């Protein structure tokens, strides 16, 4: 059997894996022994909740360091060269989407290894689904700049794209900067522009709401340190 690189969705904060991962996905995860992850501690905790068949001491959990551009990605993937399947586990959401796991996936394609994305939650798509904004045309921007002037210009460009092309604009921010980016959105967007805040998706504290900017100004929520997807609509 040819080796496969499986892309494993994370919990997005849900406490019970059975609430967000189908049994077929869990069966694949449980029978893997080699993983590439962002953080070994949280990855091992997640794998334990999946009732993986191997003892923790027998698992191979290699850390992908997104801050080290010189890291040898190929070295992390040696089991694949030996014919052994591996899993890539993201800290939040889906590997390869706003995530350093894309580097591993690109190398797998270069090696000619089969890549299989497993079924599970994507915060971006869940937010888009529940926003009520245009779902036929959308653009994800990842993290936007922290530079004040450039951020203002970026927000205005996203608003123009949402209105002129009827294209929903999605982006994310580091959770501890959420309040600041929300203040910037309410300052630089027009009052009639629609803004969706998708907060703590897939948790008991989930809040997904779309209002006009002028309405958010009177109902500004506290977003500090909460995982959030922000969407701008025409």
Q: In this predicted model, what pLDDT tens digit does every residue of 62-79 receive, in sequence order?
A: 999 888 888 999 999 999
Predicted local distance difference test score (pLDDT) of residue 226: 96
What is the distance between the alpha carbons of residues 50 and 26, in angstroms, rounded to a whole number?
7
Predicted local distance difference test score (pLDDT) of residue 90: 85
First to last CA, the chain: 49
- List per-residue pLDDT tens for the chain, 234 residues long: 689 999 999 878 777 888 889 999 999 999 999 999 999 999 999 999 999 999 999 999 999 988 888 899 999 999 999 999 999 998 877 999 888 899 999 999 999 999 999 999 899 999 999 999 999 999 999 999 999 999 999 999 999 999 999 999 999 999 999 999 999 999 999 999 999 999 999 888 999 999 999 999 999 999 999 999 999 999
Residue range 4-117, CATH number? 3.40.1010.10
Domain with CATH 3.30.950.10 in the chain: 123-233
Domain with CATH 3.40.1010.10 in the chain: 4-117
Predicted local distance difference test score (pLDDT) of residue 153: 98
Extended strands (E) in the chain:
4-8, 34-37, 60-63, 86-89, 114-117, 138-143, 168-172, 194-199, 207-212, 228-233
Backbone angles phi, psi at 41, to 5 degrees: -65, -50
Q: Does domain 123-233 have CATH number 3.30.950.10?
A: yes
Backbone angles phi, psi at 82, to 5 degrees: -90, 5
């Amino acid at each position: 059997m040819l080796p496969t690189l499986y892309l494993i969705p994370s919990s997005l904060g849900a406490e019970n894996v059975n609430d967000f991962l189908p049994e077929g996905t869990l069966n694949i995860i449980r029978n893997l022994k080699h993983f590439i992850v962002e953080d070994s501690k949280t990855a091992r905790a997640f794998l334990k909740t999946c009732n993986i068949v191997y003892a923790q001491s027998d698992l191979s959990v290699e850390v992908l360091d997104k801050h080290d551009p010189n890291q040898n990605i190929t070295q992390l993937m040696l089991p694949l060269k030996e014919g052994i399947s591996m899993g890539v586990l993201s800290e939040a959401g889906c590997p390869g989407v706003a995530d350093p796991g894309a580097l591993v996936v690109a190398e797998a394609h270069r090696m000619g290894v089969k890549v299989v994305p497993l079924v599970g939650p994507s915060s971006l798509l869940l937010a888009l689904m529940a926003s009520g904004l245009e779902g036929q045309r959308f653009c994800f921007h990842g993290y936007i700049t922290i530079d004040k002037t450039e951020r203002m210009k970026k927000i205005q460009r996203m608003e123009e794209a949402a209105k002129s092309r009827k294209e929903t604009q999605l982006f994310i921010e580091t959770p501890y900067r959420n309040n600041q980016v929300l203040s910037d959105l309410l300052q630089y967007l027009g009052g009639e522009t629609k803004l969706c805040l998708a907060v703590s998706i897939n948790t008991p504290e989930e809040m997904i709401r779309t209002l006009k900017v002028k309405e958010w100004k009177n109902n500004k929520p506290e977003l500090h340190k909460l995982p959030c997807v922000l969407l701008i609509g025409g």
